[in-house]
Amino acid sequence: MQLDKATPEQLRQWESQLAADYQAIVDKKLSLDLTRGKPSAEQLSLSDALDGILKGDYKAADGTDSRNYGGLDGLPEAKQLGADVMGLDDASQILVGGNSSLTLMFQAMLTAHQFGLKDAASAWKNDGDVKVLCPVPGYDRHFTVCEQLGIEMVTVPMGASGPDMDAVEAMIKADDSIKGIWCVPKYSNPTGVVYSDETVERMAKLGKIASANFRIFWDNAYSVHDLVDDAPQLACIMAACKRNGTEDSVLQFASTSKITHAGAGVAFMAASATNLAGLKRFLSTCTIGPDKVNQIRHTRLLPNRDALLAHMKKHAELLNPRFEAVLSALDAAFGDNDLGAWEKPVGGYFVSFDTRPGCAGETVRLAAEAGVKLTPAGATFPYGKDPENRNIRIAPSVPAVKEVVAAMDVFVICVKLASVRQKLAS
C-alpha cells in the first residue's frame, strides 16, 4: 500500500476492505490498553523481596538509624546505588530523594526559576521571560512542570541521535531567555533513541554559549533499562561537562521506579556541589528528610551494579516479547509502504509511531472505538499540540503478549483506515 502512488479507485477499494475489517474488530468488543508506561505486575514481583529484607536491621552502613528524621541528601549507600543506576563514578555527587524523580525535577526547576540554585540572584524569574527547550516528541510530564511554573516551552525536533543540536545551539545563541532544556538521553521517551556521543558532547558545551544559570534537565530514566545485551552506551555528560568547565549546567535525574516497585522506589539527582547545595537549601524548607528506610531496603536488594544489571535482565526477559509483538506488527504492516515511520528501540518503555501528517488523532479515535486505548494524540508535545498531528506513543509493557498482539492488529487497521480516508478526502 503506497498511498501516494495509488489511484482513486485503488484507494476506494482499500477503504472499503479496511472498513469491513475494522467493523469486524469493533464487533469483538475488545478492551485493551497501550497507554501505560509502567511495569507489569510480573515485573513488580521481581522486587517483592523488598518487604522484609531488613530483618530487623534498620542501621545504615555508617551507623545511621534509618528510621528517624534527617539526612536531607540520603544515606551514603543509597547515593552509591544512585551512582550505579546512573553509571557515575562519584557517589558524592548524588542526592537521594523520595519515591519520585518527577518530584525532584519539579523541585529543581522550581528552585532554579524562583529561588535560584546558586543564590537568590541566580533565579530565572529575575531575568523576565523564561523559556525552556523541549525536544519533541517528548515526555508530557516534563511539559506539565513547565506549564505549572509558567515557563514558556519552545520545541526542537528529535532525530535518530538526539535533539537537533544545530537548532538547539542556534536558538540558545539567539535568545537569552532560554534557561534550560529537557532531555531523556537514553531510550528517549517516546522515540527510544540514545543520544550519540557527539550530541552529549555538544550538550555539555551549551553552558559556554547559553545565558547565565542555564540548566540541562537530564532525565536519565532508562539508564539501565536495556532490552539487548550489546546495548548502546550513553556517554557521561558530567565527564564531558568537566572537560568543558560547565559542571553547573547539568542536573541528572534517575529513579528505581522502573527497576523495583514503580510507586515505591527511590529517586536520585546527580549534580555539581553548587547545584546540590542549592537544591538542599530548598529541600530544608519543605522536608525533614526522605524515607531512609526505603533507601536501605533498596540498597540491600541491589547492593552493587552487577546485582542491578542482573536484575534488569529479568525485566528485559519480560519486556522483550512485548516489544517484539509491537515491532513485528509494525514491520509487517508498514515496512514496505508510506503509511508510517518509527524507531526500533532497544530499551526503555515505548515505541513512537509517526503516522502520515494529520492522521494521529483519527487513528487514536478509531482505536478507542474498537476497544484499544492509546495515549491521546498530541500528548508527546507541549500544550498537547502536535503541529503535524502524527505522533502516537505505544506502551506495551503492561498487557500480556497476546493482548499486545491483538491490540496491534487493531492499531494497524486504524492507521491504515485513517490514512486511506485522509488521502481520499484530500
Site residues for a second copy per CB under 8 A: 38-39, 41, 44, 47-48, 50-56, 58, 65-71, 98-100, 102-103, 106-107, 115, 141, 144-145, 147-148, 257, 261-264, 282, 284-294, 297
Instruction: Decide whether 48 or 198 has the Cβ nearer to a second copy.
Output: 48
Write b or e for each residue in 295-334: b if 16 or more Cβ atoms lie within 10 A of its Cβ, otherwise e: bbbbbebbeeeeebeebbeebbebbeebbebbbebbeebb
Q: Which residues contact 165 (CB under 8 A, 6 or more apart)?
A: 198, 199, 202, 203
What is the torsional sign of CA 359, 360, 365, 368? positive
- Nearest to a second copy of 118, 365 (CB atom): 118
Question: Of the two residues 67 and 344, which places its CB atom closer to a second copy in the complex?
Answer: 67
- Of the candidates 220, 223, 137, 160, which has an alpha carbon nearest to the alpha carbon of residue 184? 220
Q: Which is nearer to a second copy, 49 or 310 (CB)?
A: 49
CB of 152 to a second copy, least distance (A): 16
Shortest distance (Å) from residue 426 CB to a second copy: 39
Kindly state the smallest distance separating residue 378's Cβ from a second copy, in Å.
Answer: 18
Q: How far is the CB of 102 from a second copy (least distance, A)?
A: 6
User: Which residues, 6+ apart, have CB-to-CB distance to 366 below 8 Å?
Assistant: 22, 414, 417, 418
Of 78 and 203, nearer to a second copy (C-beta) is 78
**Shortest reach from residue 257's CB to a second copy, in Å:** 7
Q: Please, what is the minimum distance in Å from the beta carbon of residue 185 to a second copy?
A: 20
* Residue 339 to residue 258: CA distance in whole angstroms: 32
- Measured from the CB of residue 106, what is the shortest distance to a second copy in angstroms? 4
Residue closer to a second copy, measured from CB, 41 or 425: 41
For the chain, the residue count is 426
Quote the least distance from Cβ 307 to a second copy, whole Å: 20
Q: What are the backbone dihedrals phi and psi of residue 36, each rounded to the nearest 5 degrees, phi first?
A: -95, 110
Least Cβ distance, residue 39 to a second copy (angstroms) = 7
